[in-house]
Amino acid sequence: MTPAVEIKGLYKRYAGGVEALKGIDLVVGQGEFFGLLGPNGAGKTTTIGVTTGLVRITEGSVRVMGYDVVSQFRQARQLIGLAAQELNFDWFFSLWDLMILQAGYYGVPAKIARKNAERLLEEFGLSAKRDVKVRALSGGMKRRFQIARSLVHEPQLVIMDEPTAGVDVELRHMLWDYLRRLNKEGRTIILTTHYIEEAELLCERVAIIDNGRIIADGSPAQLMAGIKRDGLSITVEGWSDQAAAGLDGYDYTFKDGRLQIKVVQPERRLADIVTRIAGTGAVVHDVTIDHASLEDVFIELTGRRMDD
Amino acid sequence: MISTGFYTFVTRELKRFLSLYNQTLVPGLLTTVLYIVVFGKSLGSRIGDIKGHSYMEFIIPGLAMMNAITNAYSNSASSLFQAKIMQFLDDILITPLSGLEISLGYIIGGAARGFINGILVLVMGLLLTDISLSHPFLIVVELLVVSWAFGAVGLLVGIFAKTFDNIQLLVNFFLTPLVFLGGIFYSIDMLPPLWRNISLFNPLYYMINGLRYAVLDIADTSPVVSFLVSVAAAVIFTLAGAILFSRGYRIKE
Ligand SMILES: Nc1ncnc2c1ncn2[C@@H]1O[C@H](COP(=O)(O)OP(=O)(O)OP(=O)(O)O)[C@@H](O)[C@H]1O
Ligand SMILES: [Mg+2]
């Protein structure tokens, strides 16, 4: 199947000389819920800008559903719905007019445009505001409108650049549910974020981008398994050499009454490990399961925290 | 290839200035009335007839052209500049519309506003003076072509502009002087030979005379030359604007 997005050897130098992307290769499959995760200035918005035609390519290529975004820009752009990171709107028109204009730019017939506009404004709780101009909206409403509008032409590929930045918890959950629903309907979703939990929670696959390079790419589970941070911490009373021998084959340390075991999928190993210890007469007090996060993945790969 | 997308964008450009009519249509009308009253009625009686027309009648085509030119220019220049500065231009750039289509959309918006403003001045002229319109079809064509040309100039300046002052600067130091020196208020036959020859290098002189011929059936210069100068300006500026825009010059990062 043609990938939804295929980026090859993408390199971007801005006019000022900043090298925002230093050779990116990325494939996003159709129907995927894909996360582009990275700290400020990593190159997320630039990658999206190139894909949507806002940023000129210095080197490399991008295809959307097989269409080259430069030479076949009409077909490529027709398939994309973008909710940009910045909230800037045409200030001359009401929400309703902007929805209809947007649909028109994409060639949506008037009747369908009105139907979609009505439905989306309703779904995003903006029906009451349909006749006001965007400047009369609160920040959260602007964000909702931004997303509603990006969907009016029913795009196959939905790209959201930090849709949950600066929104309250309630709206964040509403957006998550909404994006999941879009994805279930078969749309490909690309989400950029620097909220780690968001990427872990929503995305089937994430690419971590740092300093213009993709430094990791895979499902959150794969990436977290890859750094071997998962494990168990167990407080043991009556530790003995016998107990130690029982744990042969495990990567563990025992110190100050506490046993630390590094193990992939700790939940599955829990029973086996506890049984082995208890079998030697030692008493198991409390057990904590340690999971790596994508943050740990980032730290492992860069030596920095993501929000540093 | 009038696609729905292109049609929608043109509609947006038209709606923008029509909804702002008290900034885009009324001021030109008011100044025209002032010109007609002050220059025409009060000073005109001392100047006497020019080529068989009262002074008031003589200046009307020039006023119409001036209004058309400045409005066409301002419309596309400020519409594009606002979109650029407020960053909602991105909303258009990500659509399937080509650079050429977007350029033409801005130019058409400017051309429409220029044309309407020009026509409004002529209507004022009909109401306030005794002019009659000699070549109506030519009036429409001249006004359209020149408005188109300056819509394209506005597009170019909107592309280059980094501040709103840049846009106003061109009006103050370029458009207004050229319009005035283009013979709105006088026939260049009234000038000393040196100035008359210099005027011949001013394209706006041809445009104003073209419309004067179409309205009053008098001209300092050949109507054919006037028309060709207008068409040439429209073609050159449209090409320059559309090519720069499509390349993303100062439009895309
Ligand atoms: N228009 C521009 N001109 C010059 N440099 C730019 C431009 N836009 C972005 N950059 C630079 O390119 C790099 C990548 O920026 P980009 O906006 O793609 O990062 P990001 O990952 O989206 O960051 P954030 O999380 O803050 O949105 C940064 O160093 C930034 O300063
Ligand atoms: Mg960004």
| Sheet of A213-218, strands arranged across | A80-83, A157-161, A188-193, A33-37, A205-210, A213-218
Nearest CA in chain B to A90: B88
Give the model's pLDDT for residue B118.
96
Distance CA B167, CA B107 (A): 16
B55, HSE (Cβ side, Cα atoms, 13 Å): 16
B51 touches chain A (CB under 8 A): no
| Mutation choice for B interface testing from A92, A100, A153 by most B CBs within 10 A | A92
Longest dimension (CA), chain A: 79
Is B88 in Cβ contact with A77 (below 8 Å)?
A: no
A14 and B86 in contact by Cβ < 8 A?
no
| Residue nearest ligand 1's atom 30 by CA | A41
The DSSP code for B253 is -
**Minimum distance, in Å, between the CA of residue A293 and any CA atom of chain B:** 35
pLDDT computed for residue B51 by the predictor: 84
Q: For chain B, what percent of residues have pLDDT higher than 90?
A: 63
- Residues B129, B54: Cα–Cα separation, whole Å: 9
Secondary structure in 3-state letters for B180-222: HHCCCCCCHHHCCHHHHHHHCCCHHHHHHHHHHHHHHCCCCCC
pLDDT at A286: 85
Alpha carbon B235 to its chain's center: 15
Distance in Å, CA A41 to ligand 1 centroid:
5
Give the C-alpha separation, B83 to B134, whole Å.
41
pLDDT at B249: 87
Q: What pLDDT, on the 0 to 100 scale, is given for residue B1?
A: 57
Q: What is the model's pLDDT at position A228?
A: 67
Q: Tell me which chain B residues have a C-beta less than 8 angstroms from the C-beta of A109.
A: 4
Q: Which of A10, A74, A23, A21 is nearest to A44 (CA)?
A: A21
- Contact state of A84 with B90 under an 8 Å Cβ cutoff: yes
Say which of A54, A77, A92 has its CB closest to residue B252: A54
H/E stretch holding A283 reads strand A283-290
Summary mean pLDDT of chain B: 91
Q: What is d(CA A270, CA A259) in angstroms, rounded to the nearest whole number?
A: 13
A104/B11 CB distance under 8 A: yes
* φ, ψ (nearest 5 deg) of residue B7: -60, -40
The domains of chain A are located at 1-79+156-227, 91-153, 230-291
pLDDT number for residue A216? 87
Q: Is B194 exposed, middle or buried (0-12, 13-18, 19+ CB in 10 A)?
A: exposed
**Residues paired with A37 in a beta bridge:** A193, A208
**Residue B184: φ, ψ to 5°:** -65, -45
Chain position carrying tokens 């007019």? A97
Q: What are A31's two structure tokens?
A: 């129907």
The predicted pLDDT at position A308 comes to: 62
Contact B88 A90 (CB under 8 A): yes
Residue A83's nearest CA partner among A185, A8, A5, A153 is: A153
Return d(Cα A28, Cα A189) in angstroms, integer.
9
A47's CB contacts (< 8 A; 6+ apart) are: A7, A10, A21, A24, A26, A36, A209
Q: What is the ipTM of this complex?
A: 0.89
Read off the tokens for B57: 């009648």
Tokens (6 digits) for A169? 């918890």
End-to-end alpha-carbon separation of chain A, Å? 39
Q: Would you say B111 and B117 are in contact if contact means Cβ atoms under 8 Å apart?
A: no
The residue contributing the CA closest to ligand 1 atom 25 is A40
For residues A231 and B232, the model is more confident at: B232
The minimum CA-CA distance between A178 and chain B, rounded to whole Å, is 22
> Pick from B79, B30, B38, B39: which is nearest to B58 by CA?
B39
B87 touches chain A (CB under 8 A): yes
Rounded mean pLDDT, B66-74: 95
Q: What is the pLDDT along chain A (308 residues), one digit of tens a residue?
A: 899 999 999 999 999 899 999 999 999 999 999 999 888 889 999 999 999 999 999 999 999 999 999 999 999 999 999 999 999 898 889 999 999 999 999 999 999 999 999 999 999 999 999 999 999 999 899 999 999 999 999 999 999 999 988 888 899 999 999 999 999 999 999 999 878 888 888 999 999 999 999 988 988 877 777 776 778 888 888 888 887 888 888 888 888 888 888 887 788 888 888 888 888 888 888 888 877 777 777 777 777 777 76
Q: Whose CA is nearest to atom 26 of ligand 1?
A: A40
Does the structure show a pLDDT above 70 at B170? yes
What is the pTM assigned to this prediction?
0.89
> Tokens 């939940």 belong to which residue?
A267
pLDDT given for residue B204 in this prediction: 92
Mention every residue, 6+ apart, whose C-beta is less than 8 A from residue B20: A92
The helix or strand, by DSSP H or E, that contains position A207, with its residue range, turns out to be: strand A205-210
pLDDT of residue B70: 94
Residue nearest to atom 31 of ligand 1 (CA): A41
Which residues on chain A are in Cβ contact (under 8 Å) with B82?
A: 91
CATH of A1-79+156-227, one of 3.40.50.1580, 1.10.3720.10, 1.10.287.130, 3.40.50.300: 3.40.50.300
**Cβ contact (<8 Å) for B15 and A92?**
yes
Pocket of ligand 1 (CB under 6 A): A 14, 16, 18, 20, 38, 40-46, 85, 194; B 253
Taking the C-alpha atoms of residue A120 and residue A108, their distance in angstroms, rounded to an integer, is 15
Query: Contacts of residue B90 in chain A, CB cutoff 8 Å?
Result: 54, 84, 88
| CATH 3.30.70 for the A230-291 domain, yes or no | yes
Q: Specify the DSSP class assigned to residue B173.
A: I
